[in-house]
Structure 1
Amino acid sequence: MKVCIRVDSSEQIGTGHVFRCLTLAKQLRDQGSHVTFAQRVQNGALLSYLREQSYEIIELDGASDWDEEKDADHFLQQIDKDFDWIIVDHYQLSHVWETRVGNGLQARIAVIDDLANRKHDCELLLDQNYFRHYENRYMKLVPDHCKLFLGPAYLLLRDEFKHVKHSSFGDKRILVFFGGSDPTNETEKVLLALEQSEVEGWGVDVVVGTANPNRDKIQKEVARLGYHYHCQIDYLADLMSRATFSFGAGGVTMWERCYVGLASYVTIVAENQKQSTMDVDAFGAVKLIGWHDDVGVEEYVHALREAFNHEEGLKDIRQKGWDLLKSSRKSDIHPFVVEMLKWKSNER
C-alpha cells in the first residue's frame, strides 16, 4: 500500500503535526506500506529530519501567496498517481483540497484534525483531543460514510511512550519544553523565572527542537545556570517520567504529559490550542497559566512558588491526567492504521 502524508512544519507552525504523523508513518511502514511525506519548504521545516528517518520527501512551494487550491494543484503536479491513501494533517486544508486531490488521484483521504471548524471530504478522521462533548464536534462537517476516531482513547503515542514509567515525585526535577519551535519563546521566560526563584536542589531539563530559532541562545543560558540542555531528542518520555512537574504548551506534548502522569503548568501559545487546553484545565489534568501574551516572568515565578509549596496539588493534577487518558489504546497498531489497512483497492 502506498501512502502520502501532507503535513507542514516551520518556526511558526511548530513540529507537533509532523511528529504525530511520524507515529502513523512508522506503524504503516512496519506493516509493509510505502510512506512519503509532502511538505512546503519553509524555515524550520523538518525535511532533513524526515530524510534521516529514511522517508521520501516531496518538496512543495513555500511561497507567501499560498492558498489551498494552489497547493492542491502543485501537489497533484508533483505526486505519482498510484497512491492508495493521502493523510492530511493541516489546519489550512479543507474539503476543497481533499476533493480536488482525492478525485485527481482516485485515492482515499484520511484526515487528522483538532479544530472541527471546516468541512472535510474524507473516509477517515482522527481527532485525539479532549473537549467537552467531543463526540458531536464533527456533525455536519464530514460525509455520512466517514469513520470517526474521536477523543483521548485514540491518542497517537510514539514508541518511546509505550513502556514508559509513570512520573515520580522522588527526583526533584523540573522539565521545560514548549514544543519544537516555541514560537513565543516561553522557554526564555521560564529560565528567567527559575533564576529568580529558589531552585537549589532541583534538577532542570530544558528541551528544544531544531526548529527553535532561539536554541543557541537558550543553550548558552542553560549552561550558565547549570541546567541540562537537550535538543531534538528521542528520549522525551524518559525525561517526563523522571520529572516532578513541568512547564509546557498545549498540543501534542500536553497529552503525552497527561499520559505519563506528569503535572504540568501550561501556557497557550497558539489559537488552535485554546479550547482544548481550557477544557483539560477544567477537568483538572493541567494547570493553565494563561495566553502567552498575558504570561510573563512574574507569572512563571508564581507558578514555581505554587508548585514548590503545594505537592498535593501536583499529585491531584497527575491523577486527573491518568484518569483522562486511562482509556488510551496501547496496542502496537493504532485503530486508524488498522482501518486504512483494511482497504485493499485504491478505487475511491
Structure 2
Amino acid sequence: MMIPLLDLKAQYLSIKDEIDAAIQEVMASGQYILGENVEALEKEIAEYCGVKYGIGVANGTDALVLTLDAFGIGKGDEVIATPYTFFATAEAISRVGATPVFVDINPYTYNIDVTKLKEKITEKTKAIIPVHIFGQMADMDPIMEIAKLHNLVVIEDACQAIGAEYKGRKAGSIGHAACFSFFPTKNLGCYGDGGMVVTNNPELALRIKLLRTHGSQKKYHHQIIGYNSRLDELQAAFLRVKLRHLDEWNTLRREKAHYYDQLFSKSQIGTPFVAEWADSVFHLYLIRSTYREKIQVALNENGISTAVYYPVPLHLQPVYQILGYHEGDLPCAEEASRETLAIPLYPEISPAQQMKIAEIIKSVEIARD
C-alpha cells in the first residue's frame, strides 16, 4: 500500500466534473490572461479573507516581491523574517535589494518568536514578514503592536495558511497586506503556479496591479517599471472551483491531524502544538524526533512518502553567508530543521492508512528504546 505525502490525483477525482467543466468554459472563451475568472477570484478570495482587495499574480514568490516593491522597500532597508520557512520569503526581500534579518522561532508553534522581535529592530528596519508556517498563524497582536510603535509595515506570508484563523480573524486580514501561494500542494492549489496579494489599502492594490503588468494601466503606456506577473485565467477558474470546497477540506485536515494526535498520544513522538488562539489548517503534519532519519527510512521502506521541511534554515544557507550568521545563532530553528518530519496528511487519507503510518513510527521508537 503506497501512501503519498499528498494525493493530488484523489483530490482531482473528487471534483473532476467541476474541473473539467471549468476547462471547457475557459477554453471556449478565448480569454486566457486576466479575464473574468481572475477578476471574480480576486473578489472571492478577498471576501473569504475579510478584506477589500485581491490582486492575482503569477505565484506566491511574486506576491511577496511585488508587495515589498509596492511599499517602496529596497536597497538599504531591513526586513525582519523567520529563518524556518521556504527560501522564497527571504529571496523576495533580497530581490528588491533589502536585507533579511532573521529572528528565531517559537519552539512549539515554529512561527517567529514575538518576544525576540524588538531586539532586532534598527533604524533601517522597514517591515516584518511573519510566516504562518505549516497552516498555523503567527501571534499577530504583539507583532502589530510592535509594528505600530516603530512605524513598520507588516506583510503576512500566508502562503501555507489560507483559511487559518487567529482569534477568529482569517489569515490575510490582520497585516497591512498578505501574500498567498496557489502552488499545487497548497491547501488551495491550482494546476500550475498562481498567487495573490490581499489588502485593505486601495493605493497599494492599485500599485500592485500596475506592477504585475509592466507598470501599465493602459496598453502600451507605462507609468512605472514593473514586472510580468499575471494570473492565468485557467488557473483562476480551477481555484474558483476549489475555493468552494476549501473549508470542507480544511475541516477534514483538522480531523485527520487530531486522529494522528490520538495515535501518538502515548508515545514520545512530538506532534504539532496549536496555540489556544489559533485555528490551524494543517498544511503539513510534522512529527518531531531526535531519530528522524531512522523513522524516515522505515516509512520509505514501507512505501510511505515523507519530507523534511526545512533541512537548512535560511540564516545558514550558502547565499546568506555574507550576513554573518553562524550555527548556534538561532538554535530553535536549527533544532527544528534537524528533528522534524512531515508525514502524509490530506483530506482523502483513510484512518487505516494513518494507523499503519503511526504503527511503523512507534515501532521504530520501541526499537530505539
TM-score band by shorter chain is: 0.3 to 0.5
What is the TM-score with the length of structure 1 in the denominator? 0.33
What is the TM-score with the length of structure 2 in the denominator? 0.32
Structure that is richer in strand per residue: 1
Q: Indicate the structure whose relative CO is greater, using CA pairs within 8 Å and at least 6 residues apart.
A: 2
